[in-house]
Amino acid sequence: MTPQRRRRGADRREQIIDQALASFADNGYHNSSIAEIATRCGLSQTGLLHYFPNKAALLAAVLEYRDRLDYDRLGMNRQLRGKDALQQLVQLVEHNMHVPGLVQLFTVVTSEAVTSDHPARAWVVDRYRILENYLAGALDGGVTDGTFRPDLDTRAVARQISAMMDGLQLQWLLDPEHVDMAALFRTYIDDLTTRLST
């Protein structure tokens, strides 16, 4: 395969992922169809299935794309410690206000994935575990360097932070005119940092 054809194929895959992301965010996984996503891309259904063999594979590609964006933005390739990690979360939430489609996709898919047969269930469960491990490790680092209290249940605090992020995202999506997700989360993290500090 020539480099030009390979590039065209990669561009087409990216277009399909973008359109699938929009469809899953707007309609949910079960109410989105391969045919509708193919139409958005100017492809036949058979043409789309050349790139992704089924809707579950397409969802997996969309979620992998979303994870890459979040992990890069959160700096999960390096373990931040203590207050630095908490401030990085504030920056992530601030950024999320500029990508409502990604936030909506995450909220819709995680809500749908409470059913045991949803194809994204394993991704959602793993994502929460990864985030909990990352946050607990960051909080443990703050305990080790003496900036956070030694009596912390870092896993419980990590789950609370995650719940606050998800809850604010949902409220913001429902009422963006009245919910300043970034300001509320920043205040929460500032208060939490004060409570956790030695």
pLDDT digits (tens, 9 = 90+) for 2-44: 777 778 888 899 999 999 988 888 888 889 999 999 999 999 9
**In this structure, CATH architecture of domain 3-196:** Orthogonal Bundle (1.10)
pLDDT of residue 168: 97
Average pLDDT over residues 140-166: 96
Distance CA 36, CA 32 (A): 7
pTM for the full predicted model: 0.82
Residue 72 has pLDDT above 80, yes or no: no
Residue 88 has pLDDT above 80, yes or no: yes
Average pLDDT over residues 77-88: 84
Residue 100 has pLDDT above 80, yes or no: yes
**More confident of the two residues 161 and 134:** 161
pLDDT of residue 28: 87
Question: For the ranges 6-15, 19-28, 65-74, 146-155, which has the lowest average pLDDT?
Answer: 65-74
What proportion of the chain, given as a percentage, has pLDDT over 70? 96
124: tokens are 């959602």
- The burial class, CB within 10 Å (0-12 / 13-18 / 19+), for 23 is buried
Residue 146, SS3? coil
Distance CA 82, CA 137 (A): 9
Q: Is the dihedral of CA 163, 21, 130, 108 positive or negative?
A: positive
pLDDT band at 71 (very low <50, low <70, confident <90, very high): confident
pLDDT of residue 4: 79
Average pLDDT over residues 96-125: 89
pLDDT of residue 74: 63
